[in-house]
């Protein structure tokens, strides 16, 4: 009877590891797609019209942009692209 229990433990561990690896791969693919989708939202160029500092905290500047949308710096866009690219390459 102890041989059956030992065999069941080995089988259970293998299936547990395989199922967790599959779960990790699904989340990895979802995160890779989410990063690519996030990067794709930055499609419009925006123009900063004026900036002013209200003096409440350090670097508390508020800027007015001419188009509505999300703004990211070129470095931020490059980092998002690099994350999505490295995820795809690592897969």
pLDDT tens digits, 22-75? 999 898 888 888 888 888 887 776 677 777 777 777 767 777 766 666 677 788
pLDDT of residue 53: 78
Q: How confident is the model at residue 2 (pLDDT cuts 50, 70, 90)?
A: low
Question: CA dist 83 to 29, 45, 46, 67, 71, Å?
Answer: 12, 22, 24, 27, 18
The overall pTM is greater than 0.85 = no
Number of domains in the chain: 1
pLDDT of residue 74: 81
Range of the domain at 82: 2-90
Longest CA–CA span in the chain (Å) reads 79
């Amino acid at each position: 009877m102890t041989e059956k229990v030992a065999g069941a433990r080995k089988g259970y561990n293998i299936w547990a590891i395989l199922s967790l690896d599959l779960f990790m791969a699904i989340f990895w693919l979802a995160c890779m797609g989410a990063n690519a989708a996030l990067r794709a939202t930055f499609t419009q160029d925006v123009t900063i019209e004026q900036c002013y500092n209200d003096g409440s905290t350090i670097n508390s500047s508020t800027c007015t942009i001419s188009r509505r949308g999300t703004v990211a710096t070129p470095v931020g866009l490059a980092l998002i692209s690099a994350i999505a690219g490295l995820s795809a390459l690592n897969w």
